[in-house]
Amino acid sequence: MAKNYYDITLALAGICQSAKLVQQLAHEGQCDNSALLTSLKSLLQTNPSSTLATFGQHERELRLGLETLVTMLDNSKRANSTELTRYVISLMVLERKLHANPAALNELANRLSQLERQLIHFDLESETIQGALAGIYVDIISPLGPRIQVTGSPLVLQRPQIQVKVRAALLSGLRATVLWQQVGGSRLQLMFSRGRLLKQAQQLLASC
């Protein structure tokens, strides 16, 4: 069956957006807050009507991820994306670990449904909700191993609020990776279909 590279590229951009947010937070202590909100909202989309609906109603919600994906796929820019590629591949490895662990999947679904009740009282951007997301990552995802080694400024990474945002961003990246698998994504495409993915990502960026 022919692959739908539009959906595959959107989901891959979602992974890349989370990876870029982690990098921004770890090095600079801040990130693109609009992109972070888009990524965190995707965690609440348990039954979206389309791949795009997971992240919003327009491709521009994934602009940061699409830009990051283009950088990773373009041979002339790849030298600057080693760290980002490591985060993306690490999320893909973790997703396979999660997929193979039904108990962890059930617990993840339960914790996210509990979160929806908290959102009646707190905003998604609040420390309470982001702390809850970070807790889900620590309790359910980290034990699956191997842990993702986040690199950046030691002074920045020591700050509790940055640790919380990094873990919340990683959780959103894992959600995008699950979606990527569901729509037909595979690591082989990153080796053998780079040109097709790059062209699709550039077309999506142009529509932003």
Please report the pLDDT score of residue 2 as a whole number: 57
- CA neighbor of 208 nearest in space, from 66, 82, 95: 66
Q: Which residue has the tokens 């327009």?
A: 58
Peptide bond between residue 146 and the one before it cis (omega within 30 degrees of 0) = yes
**Structural domain harbouring 63:** 5-143+154-207
Residue 26 domain-assigned (yes or no)? yes
Residue 36 domain-assigned (yes or no)? yes
Mean pLDDT for back-to-back runs of 10 residues, the chain (208 residues): 86 98 98 97 93 95 97 79 95 97 96 91 94 98 93 97 98 98 95 95 94
Residue 148 domain-assigned (yes or no)? no
pTM of the model: 0.96
CATH classification at residue 108: 1.10.3890.10
Please say whether the dihedral angle defined by the alpha carbons of residues 55, 90, 116 and 33, taken in this order, is positive or negative: negative
Please say whether the dihedral angle defined by the alpha carbons of residues 208, 53, 61 and 192, taken in this order, is positive or negative: negative
Residue 149 domain-assigned (yes or no)? no
- Domains held by the chain: number: 1
- Alpha-carbon distance 120 to 99, whole Å? 30
Residue 102 domain-assigned (yes or no)? yes
- How far is the CA of 107 from the CAs of 102, 137, 143, in angstroms? 9, 11, 13
Q: Which residue has the tokens 């609440």?
A: 44
- Cα torsion 5, 168, 22, 47 to 10°: value is 10
Residue 178 domain-assigned (yes or no)? yes
Which residues does 76 contact at the CB level (< 8 Å), separation at least 6? Answer: none
Please report the pLDDT score of residue 76 as a whole number: 72
Residue 199 domain-assigned (yes or no)? yes
Residue 180 domain-assigned (yes or no)? yes
Please report the pLDDT score of residue 173 as a whole number: 98
